[in-house]
Amino acid sequence: MNYKLIQNIGLVVFLIGFGTFVMSFGSESYKLTEDTIDDQVENSAKSGLIKSFGEKELGEVYHHSFSYNLMLDGLFTEINKYQLERFGINDQKIDQILAINKVGAFSLEKTQLAFKTKDAITSFQWEAFQSFGGWLDGRTFENENEMRKSLLIVQDNMAKYGIVNQKGFNEYEIKDLKYSLTKGSSFGWVSQNKGLSLMLVYGLTLLGALLYILPNKKILGPPGIKNDGTFHSKTQNVGWIGILLGSFLILFYIVLYFYPEYMTSWILMVDPVSQWLKGDDAGRFFLYGFIYTLAILVMGVRMMIKYRHSRYQLWRTASVMFFQLAFAFLIPEILIRLNQPYFDFKNIWPLDYDFFFDNELNTLINHGGIGWFMLGWGIGLTLIGVPVMVYFFGKRWYCSWVCGCGGLAETAGDPFRQLSDKSLKAWKFERVSIHGVLVFAIVMTMAVLYTYWTGESEVLGVSSYQLRSIYGGWIGAGFAGVVGTGFYPLMGNRVWCRFGCPLAAYLGLVQRFKSRFRITTNGGQCISCGNCSTYCEMGIDVRWYAQRGENIVRSSCVGCGVCSAVCPRGVLNLENRADDNRFESAGLIGNNSFPEIKK
C-alpha cells in the first residue's frame, strides 16, 4: 500500500476543508430589518430607538461584517449621544443647583426645586440625581468651585451608569447586540445551507486529518518517540508553518473572545448540531466547544497510535477524550435542553473562576434541588475532592486524565511538547507567575462574594466588578485562551498549565507537600539520551534527576508519563508510594546544588 500517496491525498482533502472554513469567514451579507431588531432587542423602548435612528439603514445590504458593524457602532453612538443630551443634567442645570445651595450645607431637599417641572424626563433626572448625588446631602463646601467639581462628578456618573444603562446602550449591551444583530441579519450561502456547509467544512477537514495521520510512518512504525527530524520540522520547531499556525490560533481566540460579531458565518455552520443537542441556535462558545472536542478526539486517535506501547498512555488519552466529549460538551448542552443550568461537572474553581459570580450562584439557587446539588458538587470538589485525590494520585488525576485544557494540550498539543523552555530562568518565572494568578483568583473571588453577601460593590476602595472584569479579560480570555492555546506552536503545549492555571497551582501545592505520587528513577540504568527532558511539556529537566537516581517530586509535574514512555531503558516509573519520604533529595527544597542544575 502506498502510504505516502494516502498521506498526500489526506493533506489535500484537509486543506480543502480548512481553506473552505477560512474563506467562509467573510462570505455572508447582512441586512438590518425591523423583524431582526424585534427578535434581538427585548426592551421595546430601545428597539424603537434603533429603528428610529437606523431608519436609513433598514433594508440596506452590507456585503461584509466589518462595514455592517461599523454602521452599528455609529448607530449606538448616535443614540447614546441623543439620550445623554436629553436625560442628562447640563451646565445650566448645575448653575441652577449651585444658586439654590449657595449658603450653608448642600441639601437634597432644596435641590429638588431645580427639578420641579412635572414630566417624564425631569422625573428621571431627579431620580438619577438622588441615586448618584445622594452623598452630597448635608455636606458643607468651602466655596462654589469645590461644590461645582462634586456636581460634575455626579453629572458624569449619571451619564455613565444611569442614562447609558437605562436609556441608551452600555458597552456590554453593545457588544452583545452587535453579535446577535449580525448573526440575525446574515444571509448568504452558509446561512441558507447550514447542514451542507457543516458537512463540507468539518467532514473534509476530519477526513483529511485522519488520512494524513493514520498512514504516517512515524506513528505506524516502532511505537514511541522517534528522534528523526523533529527539530528540523517547520511545524514542530517554530518554523514558518508553526509560526503561521500559531498566528492563526492567536487571531482565532482574539476574535472569539473579543469580536464574535465577525465570526457569525462560522457559528451559523454549527446551528444544526446545536439545535439537535440543546434545541437552540449556536453561540460562539458552542462553536468553540465543538471545535475543541473534535480536536481532542482526532488528535487523541493519533496519540493512542503513537504511544500504543504504553497502557498508561492509552488509558490516559481515552480518559481525556471521554471527559471532554461527555462532561465538557454533551452533558452541559443536554442540561440546557432539559431547562437546567449549564454545568460542567469536571470544572473546578479556581480554574472555573466565575463559579462564585452572583449570576452563576443565583442561577444555581433558583433551579432548586439540582441547582443546590451542583453548587455543593462544585464546592466539594474544590475543598475535599482536590486534596483527597491529589494525596492518593498526585495532580495527574486531574491535569492529565480529566481537565479539558490538559486534554487539548496532550492531544492537539503533543507535536509541540518539545518546545517547552527547560531553563532555570523559566522555572523561576513559572513559580512567580502561576502562584501570582492563584492569589489574584482568590482575592477576586473573595471580593465577589463580599459584594454578593453585602451588596457593597467596593472592598477597600477597589471595585469587585472591576476585579472580575480584569481577571476575565486578561487571565480567563487573554492568558488561558489567546496565549494558552495560540502559543502551542511557539512555546510548547502547556504554557497556560505551567505559567497561569490557578487550579494547577493549587493542585501542585498539595502534590509537593502531601501526596503519595512521585516519579522514581533508576540512575544506574540512565544513558543520558535526554529524551525525558526533551519531551517534558512542563519544562522539568528530568534527566538531571535520572542521572542521580533521585525521585522527581515537583509541584509542576502533571504526571503525563511521557518521560517514562520515551525512555529506552525503563529508568522512570510513575508510582503512588505510601511512605512519607517526600524530600529525600535535598535539591528539591533549596540545597545550593539546585540552582546549579545543568541545563
Nearest Cα neighbor of 511 from 584, 583, 407 is 583
Q: Is 490 contained in some domain?
A: yes
Q: Are residues 356 and 459 in the same domain?
A: yes
Same domain, 494 and 541: no
The helices-and-strands tally (H runs, E runs) of the chain is 34, 7
Which of 515, 548, 570 finishes a domain?
515
DSSP state of 518: E
**CATH no. for residue 543?**
3.30.70.20
Q: Does 283 share its domain with 323?
A: yes
Q: Find the distance separating the first CA and the last CA of the chain, reported in whole Å.
A: 44
**43's grid cell:** 426592551
- For residue 9, tell me if it sits in a domain: no
Separation of alpha carbons 350 and 372, rounded Å: 19
- For 55, list phi and psi in degrees, rounded to 5: -55, -40
User: Do 251 and 386 fall within a single domain?
Assistant: yes
Cα 283 to Cα 587: distance, rounded to the nearest angstrom: 50
Where residue 32 falls (left for φ over 0; alpha for ψ -120 to 50; beta otherwise) is beta
Residue 196 lies in a domain: no
- Domain with 70 in it: 29-187
Q: How far is CA 241 from CA 247, 248, 255, in A?
A: 10, 11, 21
For residues 247 and 383, membership in a common domain is answered with yes
Alpha-helical regions (H) of 114-239: 120-133, 144-157, 164-166, 171-184, 189-192, 194-198, 204-213, 217-220
Q: Are residues 464 and 539 in the same domain?
A: no
Q: What predicted TM-score, i.e. pTM, was given to this entire model?
A: 0.88
On whether residue 199 sits in a domain, the answer given is no
441 and 542 assigned to the same domain:
no
Q: Write down which residue in 477, 498, 515 finishes a domain.
A: 515
CB 219 within 8 A of CB 305: yes
In a domain, 164, yes or no: yes
Residue 1, domain member (yes or no)? no
Q: Are residues 374 and 411 in the same domain?
A: yes
C-alpha–C-alpha distance, residues 271 and 293, integer Å: 16
Do 254 and 120 fall within a single domain? no
User: Domains in the chain: how many in total?
Assistant: 3
CA dihedral 457, 463, 468, 473 (to 10 degrees): 140
Residue 591: predicted pLDDT: 32
The answer to whether residue 434 sits within a structural domain is yes
Residues 309 and 446 in one domain: yes
Low-confidence ranges of the chain (pLDDT < 70): 1, 216-228, 578-599
Q: Give the tens place of pLDDT for each residue, 225-265.
A: 666 678 888 888 899 999 999 999 999 999 999 999 999 99
pLDDT of residue 219: 61
Residues 141 and 263 grouped into a single domain? no
**158, 187, 216 — which closes off a domain?**
187
The pLDDT value recorded for residue 569 is: 87
Residues 330 and 478 in one domain: yes
Residue 433 lies in a domain: yes
